[in-house]
Amino acid sequence: MNAPECAPDRQKILTGVILLGLLLLALALRLYGIEWDARQLFHPDERQVLMVVERLRLPAPGEWPALLTPASPLNPGFFAYGSLPLYLLKIVSAALALIGGAWADPDRLCLIGRGLAALFDTGTVLLVFGLGRRLYPGQPGLRGTTTGLLAALLLALAVLHVQAAHFYTVDPILAFLTTLTVSLMVPVAERGAPAWRWGLLAGVVWGLALATKATAVLLVVPVGVTWGLGARRGTHAALGTALTVGAALVTLALAEPYAFIDAPTFVQHTLNEIAVARGTVIFPYTVQYLGTTPWLYPAGQLLWWGLGVPLGLTAGCGVVWLIQRAWRRRRPADLVILAWMAAYFVAVGSGLAQPMRYMLPLTPFLCLAAAALLANLKSQISDIKYQIQKPVIYPILAIGYLTIALTALYAISFVAGVYGREHPWLTASAWIYRHVPPGSTILVETWEHGLPVEMMLDGQYRSSGEYVIREIDLHGAQDAPARARLAEALAGCDAVILASRRGYLPLTRQAAEYPLAARFYHQLFGGGLGFELATSAATGPALGALALADDPIAAAGLPAPPGLARPGEYVLTLPLADESLIVYDHPLPLVWIPAQVLSPAELDRLLEPSVRP
């Protein structure tokens, strides 16, 4: 074999080795600290999914006639999300249980689910590599390979994906399936009629995505654009679209059969989820989004927290560059990708409820756009006609390397600072067991994870059953009787626990709707109710002494109580993060104990609207 023939082979081997390294990096970041909550299931959506999976079972001998009815034990009866992730986890866990040993323990179900989430998200890293090569057809050894590898690296380091893979929720699976669907539609747009099989396969994957989450219906936009582009090459657009849509519907019926068998429940749950997402109804967990701006809120969250400022800015510039290139050159891959990005962001970004993980189907393409821009700049810098502009070239090149380096540091700081340390709720619970005597009365908030949690401490099993736990409903009535009940509860308690910001931040910012709650938090934090902060537990992204955090107490307009300092750390304060990034894996629990005893009448007076803290 001569040298010219060997060079491409060496390039392929080198590309394969680098890609394998990137996939291993992605998997390692997503599996690190997989037991971050000591299997306590602190993520409510993950907890709900696992509860549904645990009750799924094959019909008993006498139950087989009910298999195709809503009474079937295989009917999840839960359609806030699709059924595919439920059945997948059930099948994988059952297969592992056949091996025996620890895998048969139901307590390990969350670990199996998180492992699956990590594998799916690592698969998405592989898909963006392939899409990067597609952006430069005919140049796989030049810009295409560079773009693909850069996109894979950036997505491997994307904090939003790293965090999402630490929970078994449907979003990492949805991101993989939507990215795969778009990847399969690109050959259809490029080749036209010879790519019918790609259109059929894309329909199958699209159906799996629909069986994962209903928002996958938005793939109809890139599907229509794809077959429209294919029609210009002699393919009948309507027939091609019907082929893909038909394959998707058949797959959906097979992967989520009870959406059809138990249609009334499916429709009701789906409409409920749409109402919550659009803000038609407000739940305690969506109060935080009142007053936010559609599209700008999720974009800002991605910029500051989901991707980080360097990658977020580069991705934004990359999208603009990709739009400009698509306008000039009309490349099919560009048009299909942009059609999906526009459809998803316009539709999902317009809703009220915007947990950051909702952006997961979009972020692989943002990383792809950033990589395409950086690869294009690198290619231009390598062109000899640009060498005379060294004063301009070197800063641009430095910006590219700096983006990668800072994104890597952010990912490492998040993994080390969040999953490399004990969960704050475990730390706070240990303090409670050691300092609050058994039999004491503890106040906790409704719609919050109750503390203390069960745990082994100093060789003993401890649980909240040792205490009298009373809930205070600050999302409910705000009238005088509610104030009196709150005052009575405060007068008779030995500790007040705010497990996270989920109560005081949104309710204080919506004081007009929740005046009693706002008054309570202002008085509590200001010391007016006779309580003092006894302990708190803070973790979060950190590298050495440098920590990244927001300030929810200041954002709520509350006075900072003494004892919140983080000794030995310099905290770089960033804009307020979405609850979904904070409260599951690194919340800030606050434990208050009485410093002086006040009567119910005194507390009631302090909670009146006319009294200032």
Token representation of residue 565: 């300092």
Average of per-residue pLDDT across 350-376? 94
Q: Which residue has the higher pLDDT, 234 or 331?
A: 331
Token representation of residue 436: 């609050």
Question: Is 408 found in the same domain as 437?
Answer: no
User: Cα-flanking dihedrals φ and ψ of residue 368, to 5°?
Assistant: -65, -45
Q: What is the DSSP string of 83-145?
A: SHHHHHHHHHHHHHHHH-GGGG-GGGHHHHHHHHHHHHHHHHHHHHHHHHHHTSTT-TTTHHH
Helix (H) / strand (E) containing 424: helix 424-435
Predicted TM-score (pTM) of this structure: 0.94
Please report the pLDDT score of residue 362 as a whole number: 98
Average of per-residue pLDDT across 478-505? 96
Query: Would you say residue 195 lies in a domain?
Result: yes
Helix (H) / strand (E) containing 542: strand 542-543
pLDDT (tens digit, 9 = 90+) per residue, 284-343? 999 999 999 999 999 999 999 999 999 999 999 999 999 999 988 888 889 999 999 999
Decide: 219 and 209 in contact? Cβ < 8 Å.
Answer: yes
Domain end, chosen from 365, 385, 418, is at 418
What proportions of the chain, in percent to the nearest 5, are helix, strand and coil? Answer: 65, 5, 30
**Average pLDDT in the chain:** 91
Question: Is 428 found in the same domain as 333?
Answer: no
Please report the pLDDT score of residue 140 as a whole number: 47
Token representation of residue 540: 């979060």
Please report the pLDDT score of residue 141 as a whole number: 53
Interatomic CA distance for residues 487 and 495, integer angstroms: 14
Interatomic CA distance for residues 354 and 298, integer angstroms: 7
Q: What is the DSSP string of 301-321?
A: HIIIIIS-HHHHHHHHHHHHH
Question: Is 18 found in the same domain as 38?
Answer: yes
User: Cα-flanking dihedrals φ and ψ of residue 590, to 5°?
Assistant: -125, 125
Number of neighbouring beta carbons within 10 Å of residue 566: 15
From the centroid of its chain, how far is CA 506? 20
Question: Is 476 found in the same domain as 366?
Answer: no
Q: Coil, helix or strand for 534?
A: strand
Report for 188-192, 233-237, 594-598: range of highest mean pLDDT: 594-598
Please report the pLDDT score of residue 330 as a whole number: 81
Burial of 212 (0-12, 13-18, 19+ CB in 10 A): buried
Question: Is 390 found in the same domain as 300?
Answer: yes
Quick check: 2 pLDDT over 80?
no
pLDDT (tens digit, 9 = 90+) per residue, 32-67? 999 999 999 999 999 999 999 999 999 998 889 999
Quick check: 612 pLDDT over 60?
no
Decide: 237 and 279 in contact? Cβ < 8 Å.
Answer: no
Quick check: 354 pLDDT over 80?
yes
Using CA atoms of 206, 165, 361, 400 in order, give the dihedral in degrees to the nearest 10: -130
Please report the pLDDT score of residue 231 as a whole number: 66
DSSP code of 53? H
Please report the pLDDT score of residue 16 as a whole number: 93
Quick check: 169 pLDDT over 90?
yes
Least confident of 220-234, 272-286, 532-546: 220-234
Interatomic CA distance for residues 482 and 471, integer angstroms: 13
Please report the pLDDT score of residue 332 as a whole number: 87
Question: Is 458 found in the same domain as 384?
Answer: no
pLDDT (tens digit, 9 = 90+) per residue, 246-263? 999 999 999 999 999 999
Please report the pLDDT score of residue 508 as a whole number: 96
Average of per-residue pLDDT across 429-438? 97
Question: Is 83 found in the same domain as 192?
Answer: yes
Average of per-residue pLDDT across 462-488? 95
Q: Coil, helix or strand for 513?
A: coil
Please report the pLDDT score of residue 176 as a whole number: 98
Question: Is 438 found in the same domain as 358?
Answer: no
Quick check: 596 pLDDT over 50?
yes
Quick check: 611 pLDDT over 60?
no
Query: Would you say residue 530 lies in a domain?
Result: yes
Greatest Cα-to-Cα distance within the chain, rounded to the nearest angstrom: 94
pLDDT (tens digit, 9 = 90+) per residue, 179-211? 999 999 998 888 755 578 888 999 999 999 999
- Cis amide bond preceding 452, omega within 30: yes
Decide: 147 and 371 in contact? Cβ < 8 Å.
Answer: yes
Query: Would you say residue 273 lies in a domain?
Result: no
The pLDDT-based confidence of 385 (bands split at 50, 70, 90) is very low
Question: Is 430 found in the same domain as 409?
Answer: no
Interatomic CA distance for residues 244 and 99, integer angstroms: 39
Interatomic CA distance for residues 150 and 295, integer angstroms: 27
The pLDDT-based confidence of 105 (bands split at 50, 70, 90) is confident
Token representation of residue 166: 């630490």
Quick check: 116 pLDDT over 90?
yes
Please report the pLDDT score of residue 40 as a whole number: 94
- Please give the tally of structural domains in the chain: 2
Taking the CA atoms of the chain, what radius of gyration do you get in angstroms? Answer: 27
Among 180, 123, 133, residue whose Cα is nearest residue 156? 123
Residue 563 makes CB contacts below 8 A (sequence gap 6+) with 533, 534, 535, 536
Domain end, chosen from 402, 418, 434, is at 418
pLDDT (tens digit, 9 = 90+) per residue, 137-153? 545 456 788 899 999 99
Please report the pLDDT score of residue 5 as a whole number: 46
Interatomic CA distance for residues 41 and 47, integer angstroms: 6
Please report the pLDDT score of residue 3 as a whole number: 40
Burial of 61 (0-12, 13-18, 19+ CB in 10 A): exposed
Helices (H), 545-613: 552-555, 579-582, 600-606
Question: Is 413 found in the same domain as 438?
Answer: no
Please report the pLDDT score of residue 391 as a whole number: 59
Quick check: 607 pLDDT over 80?
yes
For Cα atoms 165, 169, 172, give the angle at the middle one, nearest 5 degrees: 50
Decide: 407 and 310 in contact? Cβ < 8 Å.
Answer: yes
The pLDDT-based confidence of 564 (bands split at 50, 70, 90) is confident
Q: In Å, how far are 314, 497, 602 from 607, measured between CA atoms?
A: 49, 18, 9
Interatomic CA distance for residues 196 and 147, integer angstroms: 27
Decide: 454 and 39 in contact? Cβ < 8 Å.
Answer: no
Please report the pLDDT score of residue 239 as a whole number: 85
Q: What is the 3-state secondary structure (H, E, C) of 433-501?
A: HHHCCCCCEEEEECCCCCCCCCEEECCEEECHHHCEEEEECCCCCCCHHHHHHHHHHHHCCCEEEECCC
Q: How many CA atoms lie within 13 A of 250 on its CB side?
A: 11
Query: Would you say residue 132 lies in a domain?
Result: yes
Interatomic CA distance for residues 607 and 474, integer angstroms: 13
Helix (H) / strand (E) containing 397: helix 390-414
Query: Would you say residue 268 lies in a domain?
Result: no
User: Cα-flanking dihedrals φ and ψ of residue 549, to 5°?
Assistant: -160, 165
User: Cα-flanking dihedrals φ and ψ of residue 591, to 5°?
Assistant: -115, 120
Domain end, chosen from 398, 418, 438, is at 418
Number of neighbouring beta carbons within 10 Å of residue 545: 10
Average of per-residue pLDDT across 225-232? 80
Question: Is 414 found in the same domain as 436?
Answer: no
Decide: 419 and 165 in contact? Cβ < 8 Å.
Answer: no
Query: Would you say residue 281 lies in a domain?
Result: no
Question: Is 532 found in the same domain as 385?
Answer: no
Domain interval for residue 58: 3-260+290-418
Say what percent of the chain tops pLDDT 90: 78
Decide: 152 and 126 in contact? Cβ < 8 Å.
Answer: yes
